[in-house]
Chain A
Amino acid sequence: MNEHAPLLRVENLSITLKTPSGEQVQPLRGVNFELSRGEALGIVGESGSGKSMSMLALMGLLPSNARRDADSLKLGDKDLLQIEDTTFAREIAGKRIGMIFQEPMTSLNPVYTIGRQLIETATLYGRGTARAARARAIELLNRVGVPEPELRLDQYPHQLSGGLRQRVMIAMALMNEPELIIADEPTTALDVTIKAQILDLLADLQSELGMGMILVSHDIGAVSRAVDRIGVMYAGAFVEKGPLDDVFEHPLHPYTQGLLQCAPRATLAHGGPRLGAIPGSVPSPFKRLTRCAFSDRCPHVHDACYGSEPALRSAGNQAYRCVLDAEQLQSDNDHSDKGVVIPHATPVQVEHGDPPVLALESASCVFTTRRGLLGRSKDNRAVDDVSIALHGNEILAIVGESGSGKTTTARMMLGLQQPTSGVALFRGEALEKSTPRQRAQLIQPVFQDPYSSLNPLRTVGDSIGRPLVVHGVGNRASRRERALEIMSLVGLPERFYNSYPNQMSGGQRQRVAIARALVLEPKVLICDEPTSALDISVQAQILNLLLDLRERLGLTYLLITHDLAVVRYFATRVVVMKSGQIVESGETERVYTQPTHPYTQELLASISDPLRRSA
C-alpha cells in the first residue's frame, strides 16, 4: 500500500433521483475530493447543498430510487464502486469507516444497553472476541470522556444525557480503529457548551489516532474548530475548496463570501455593521440546472454565467467555481467590506425611565408529575423566582441551554402558561386579568419551527388573515387588503397569497409567521428561537427583517435563543438563565466583554468564530 496515496478518493460522484412528477434530477453533481491520511476535511453548506447526501452516497445508504454514479470511489486501494453490499458491510462499514450521526437519541437502539451495542460493533462478522471488545469499549469510553465506563456499559441510552450519548457514538465509531471517520452534523442537536467539547474531542482524537475525518455541517463556526481543509457546497456541487485559513481569510466564490458575511459573529461588538445577506433562497434540489447554480443570487452575475455550469478553477491552494478571475473576486469582496455605508444594526440607547412594557415579578413555574393516579409526585421547578422587565423599544434576549427554563419564561409572558407563583404584568397590570383577545392585540409570538406554526391546511392569505377573523375585524375584502399589505411589509410577493405552507421554503414560512404576528398591530413580539431552524443565509434575512420592522413599527422584542452570536448581533440587553434561574443580566456588550457569573464565562468560552482566527 502506497503511504502517500490518498486515504479517500472521490471522482465525479453524482446522484440521480426520480421525482414524483417523473423527472430525473441530480441532487449531487460531479463531486470531487481527496482526503489524505490524518487529514480532516470539513464540508459546509446549507439545506439542499447535497453535503449529507454525498456522505450517504459514500456509505451506500441512499434510498432505493436513487442511483449513484462515479468515476472513481476508492478507499485506500479498495474500489468501493465494485464492491458487493455484503462485503461492504462486512469489511468497510464500521471497520474501516466509522460514521457518527446527528441525532444521538435515535442512532442508538433504545432497547439494548450501551455495552451491548459497543461490543456488537467489534464482534460482528467475527471481528474479535467479546472480552477483547469489552476491554476496548471501556478504554474508549474513558478516552472520550465518559465517566464510570464500567457502569455505563450496563445502562440504556435513555439514561444518558445528549452529550454523553454523542460521546458514546464516537466511541462506537472508533471501536474497530477505522481509518476514516465521517461525522454528519455531530453537534447540531447539542447545547453550546457541549458542542465545543465534542468538537475539541473529535479534533484531538483525529490527530492522536491519525485517522482521516470528514466533518459535515451547516455551522461554519463548528466546522472551523476541528478541521484543516474546508469545502463549501452549494446546490449539489462544491463551489469552493481549500485550506481553512485561506478560505476564511480570502474567500473567492461569491457564495462563500456571502455566507461569511451572513453569519453573525459573537466576537463582533453589538451595534456594528448589518449582517450581509444573500438575497433569494437556496434552490430546490429538484431543479435541473443549465447555468451556474448561484447565478440568481450572485452580486457579480454576468451573461456568461447563464451559459453553462462553470468548472472548478484553482487559485493557489484554493479551488473555486466561477467564470470570474480570482483577483477580481478578491477585490470585489474587499470593496464590499469596507467603504460602503451600511446602516447600523440598532440604536444602542434605550430609555429605561419608563415603566416596563412587559414584566415578570418573582415568577415561578413548577410542573408536578405524578406516576399514575396514586403515585408519588415529583416537582420540576422549570422557572424559579425569575424577575424580568421588558422596556419599550428594546430587544431583550434570554439565553440559556436546554432545560434552562427560557421557553417556559417566554410562555408565561405570552400568557400561555400561568405562573404557579409570582405574577406576569403588562403595563403594570396583571396579565391574567386580561382576556386572550386583549392580550392578542398587545403581544404576539414568533415560533421556532415555521412548518408547525402554520396550519398546513390554510393558505398563506388565510393564515395571515385569521387573527382578523377571530377578532371580527372587517370583511373579506378588507382582510385581504390588509394581508397583502403586511405581506409586502415582510417581503412576501403577492402571488403567495394562495399558496400552502408545504409549497414554501423555511424562510418564506417564517415570513408568513411574522406577518401573521403583525396583523393585529401588537406592541411586543416574543420570538422563540425564530431562526434556529433556518439556513444561515435565510437567518440573516429574517434577522434583518425583524430589525427593519422594529424601526418602522416601533416594536419591542423578547428573543429566546441559545445562539450567542445572534444575541450579540441582535439584542440590546441580555439575560442568562440556567436551571430555571437568572444568573446574569445586563447590556449586551457588558455581558459579553465582562461576564461576572462563571456560567456566562463558560458559555462565552465555547463560542467558535470562524473569522476570529484571522481577525
Chain B
Amino acid sequence: MMFCPLKRWTPASAGALALGLTMLLGLAGCTDDGSQDDILDVAFQSQVSNLDRTFTTKREYIILSQLIDDFLFDVDPETLKYEPLLAKSYEFINDTTLDVTLRDGVKFHDGSTLSVKDVLYTYNFVLDPDNGARANRNVSDWLESVEQIGPMTVRFHLSYPYPLALRDMAVTVPIRKAGSYTVDGELDKSALVTRENGLGPYEVVHFLPGREVMLKRFEDYYDGSPKGKPAIRQIRIHTISDWGSAQAGILAGELDWLYNVPGDIARNLDASGYAKRLVGPSMRIGFLQLDAAGLTGENAPLTDLRVRRAVNHAINRQSIVENLVGAGASLIATSCNPVQFGCETDVQRYPYDPRKARELLTEAGYPDGFPLTLWAYRDPYVAEAMAQDLRDVGIDVSLRYVPLPVLNKARSAGEIPAYFGTWGAGGTADVAATLSVMWNMNTDRNLAQDPLIAKLVASAERTQVKETRRQLYSRALKRIADQAYWAPLYVFPQNYVVNKRLGFPVPSDGLPRLYLTHWRSDGDSTSGDRASGGTVGNKGGN
C-alpha cells in the first residue's frame, strides 16, 4: 500500500535506528546555554498566527499580549490584585462611575504618544458589536459609555455595579491607537494581525505567522511602569507542538524556556541536569462535565443523579494527581479554584469508592454499566487513566481525544455526554470568572442547564458588596456539588522548564510574564529578581 512491498528493511526498523541516532545526537549535542546570544528562545505548543489581542483568546496570545500590549490596569503576579498600569490613578465616583487618569509620556511602538483619544477609540471599538472584538462579550454587558472629562482623564459609565470592571479592563482590552482599524477609509479588522503597534515593553521585529515571532525590547517604554523594564533584549517565540522536539530543543540548548510541560517530561529534564524545572500554581482547574440536562438524549444515563455520583466515586483522583499530574497539583472537591474569591470549599465530597459507584449504578438501573463516549482535548494520560477507572466500575468508555476546536464544535452541537474540561478563568482570582462563563443558560458549556444556579451566579455579578457575593456563590457551589453536575478533579500546576541560567519568577496565577526574565550569572534561576528591584520566590517545589 504505502510502502514498497519488497523492502526488507522496514520503516519501523529504520525508525528505530533513526531514533537511536537522534538520541545519541541529541544528548551529545547538549551545549551549555544559549544565553550568550542574549536572545531568549521560548517555545509555545500552539501556533501564533495573529498578533492582535483584540481578536484572540488563546493562552499563548495572552502571554504574547503581556509583552507587546499595555492595558489600563494590570494584575500583579504575586498579589493577584489589580494595579493601574497605563492609568496613573483611578477613582470610583460611585458604584457605576469610574474615572481613570492616564500617564503622560507613554509612547506607542510607532513613536506617537498615548492620549485620551486612543482610549476612547479603543473602548468604543470594543463596545460596537459589529466589530467582533473578543472583549465585547464581557465589556458590553456592564459598560455603557466612555467619555473624556479632562485632558488625560476618561470617565467610564457602568450600567450596573459590576464587581470585575477593573479585571475586564486589565485582561481583555488592550489599548489601541486611534484609527488603527480604519485603513484607506474602510474598516479593516485584520489591520493589526501581522503588524502591531502596541504600548508594551517589547515590540515585534519580524513575524512568521504560525512559526516564529521575534521581539525586541522597546527602548522608549515609559519609566515607572509596574512591569518594569525588561532585562533581556530579544525574545524569539517558536512554535513546537511535539514534545519530543521540544525536549530535544531544550537539551540541545536551542530553547531556553518551556511552559505547560507535562509532569513526566519536566521531571526527567530536571533530572538530566541540562535544564531546570520550576513549578508554580495556576488558576486552571480540571473537571469532568456531565450531561445532566440530557442534551445528548432525553434519558441519557447521566441525567440520573445517582449515575453522576457514581462517576464521581469511580475516579481515583488521588492516584492521578500523585502519579500523573505530579508536584504542584492539588485536589479539589468544589468546582472552582480555592484561591479564587468566592470559592466555597465546604461542599459535598465523593471519595474514591468503586464499590459504591457500582452500587449506585445498579440502583440507577445500570447494573452492567452503559456505553459512554468520553471526550478530551488535553492531557491524554489523565484522560486515559480516568477512562480506565470508569471501565473498572463497568462503564464502557470509549475515549475520543480530539483537538479543542473539534471538541467545541461537538459540544455546541450537543453531541457530548461527558468531557474532560479545564478552565483557567483568565487567571482571575475571582470565582465569577469561572461561574459566569460555565453556568449561564446561554452557553453550550453549561451541560447542566440549571436555572437556579444561573440566577445565583448572575445576581452575584450585580453587586459590589463582597459578603453578598460570597453568600450567593456559596449557595451555587454547594448545589453544584450536591447535584454532582461536575466531577471536579484538581488544580493544574504549571510546569516550566528553563535554561539553568535563566531567572524567571514563577507567577501565582499561572500566567508567565516573560518581561520579568533575566540571565543569572550564578546559575540559580530560582531566585527571580525583578529588574526594577524586589524579589519573588517561586511558589512550588521540584
Q: Indicate yes or no for A touching B, C-beta below 8 A.
A: no
A-contacting residues of B (Cβ < 8 Å)? none
B-contacting residues of A (Cβ < 8 Å)? none
